[in-house]
Amino acid sequence: MRCPYCLSSHVRLWHADGDRLYQCRRCHSNIKLFCSPVDVYDETYFQEHYEQVYGKSYEEDEPMIRSYALRRLKEIQKYVPGGVLVDIGAAYGFFLDEARRVGYEVMGVEIHEGSIRYIQDRFGYPVYRSLELVEGDVDVVTAWFTLEHMMDIEGVMQMVVSKLRVGGCLALGLPNGYGAFARFRKREYFRCRPVEHCTEPSLKGIRALLKRYHLRIVHTEIFGLHPERIGLPSRRFWQNLQKKLRLGDTFEVYAVKQEG
Ligand SMILES: [Zn+2]
């Protein structure tokens, strides 16, 4: 078995209870071998499942999701201020709607039927079941907390770079498979890690993956600063330290496609 991020074959069994979880010894990304998306993404995924994990429904989270979207779009606009933007794992289309408002031509990629209907009924944006079906060059590809749900990372990346024009931007939001929670509270991490995550990458693993596909990282941002999860006070000082040490439980990377 190889690590899907850095391609190292030094992969060890990390956790054997229930679902087996493996960890790459080189980049510390973690990998779950058997991930069965069809079991998870049924009609209730964005209602009941999301609510179980985040304590409110996806729709109730709309204002927060839109404010995140605006922050992310401001970053993307520094590199690619307009053009065609494709959001993979578009969910209910809130990010697409904000992207449209700031001037991008938008389309979504989504496999969840309820979400496809929601986007089409409420916003009328085009939604495809696969990135492969998107025609023409794309200026921006985004995937917010989506890549970790996919088994065939290599296949997805090949498709992304085949669609993205040179100079185009890829933006990703990801759980940190080697953040503070995963490193210092392993037992709770194993218990809380969403079953539908096929992998949870480390920053090092993502750097290796993007480099392999000639994507130059232009910005990285650390999020998921929860010192209380590892037994520290929930204070700004500890959050800042966690951020500085790049030990947040989530992160975002922005990369630009190079010639090659
Ligand atoms: Zn690795």
pLDDT tens, residue by residue, 183-215: 999 999 999 898 889 999 999 999 999 999 999
| Distance in Å, CA 84 to ligand 1 centroid | 32
List phi, psi (to 5°) of 142.
-125, 150
How much is the pLDDT for 39? 56
Residue 79 has pLDDT above 60, yes or no: yes
| Distance in Å, CA 24 to ligand 1 centroid | 5
Tokens of 91: 């969910």
DSSP SS3 for 256: strand
Name the pLDDT band for 108 (thresholds 50, 70, 90): very high
pLDDT averaged over every residue in the chain: 92
| Distance in Å, CA 7 to ligand 1 centroid | 6
What mean pLDDT is predicted for residues 79-93? 97
Among the listed residues 147, 153, 111, the one whose alpha carbon sits nearest the alpha carbon of residue 129: 111
Tokens of 89: 């794992």
Q: Is the pTM of this model over 0.85?
A: yes
How far is 64 from 69, CA to CA, in rounded Å?
A: 9
| Distance in Å, CA 200 to ligand 1 centroid | 11
| Distance in Å, CA 124 to ligand 1 centroid | 40
Residue 37 has pLDDT above 60, yes or no: no
| Distance in Å, CA 105 to ligand 1 centroid | 35
| Packing angle of the helix pair 153-163, 203-212 (nearest 10 deg) | 50
- 11 CA to centre of own chain: 22
Sole residue written with tokens 């289309």: 93
Of residues 46 and 259, the one with the higher pLDDT is 259
Among the listed residues 147, 209, 248, 194, the one whose alpha carbon sits nearest the alpha carbon of residue 3: 209
| Packing angle of the helix pair 62-77, 94-101 (nearest 10 deg) | 50
* Domains and their CATH numbers in the chain: 38-175+200-257 (3.40.50.150)
Name the pLDDT band for 110 (thresholds 50, 70, 90): very high
Report the alpha-carbon angle 194-228-253, nearest 5: 55
| Distance in Å, CA 36 to ligand 1 centroid | 22
| Distance in Å, CA 119 to ligand 1 centroid | 35
How much is the pLDDT for 216? 98
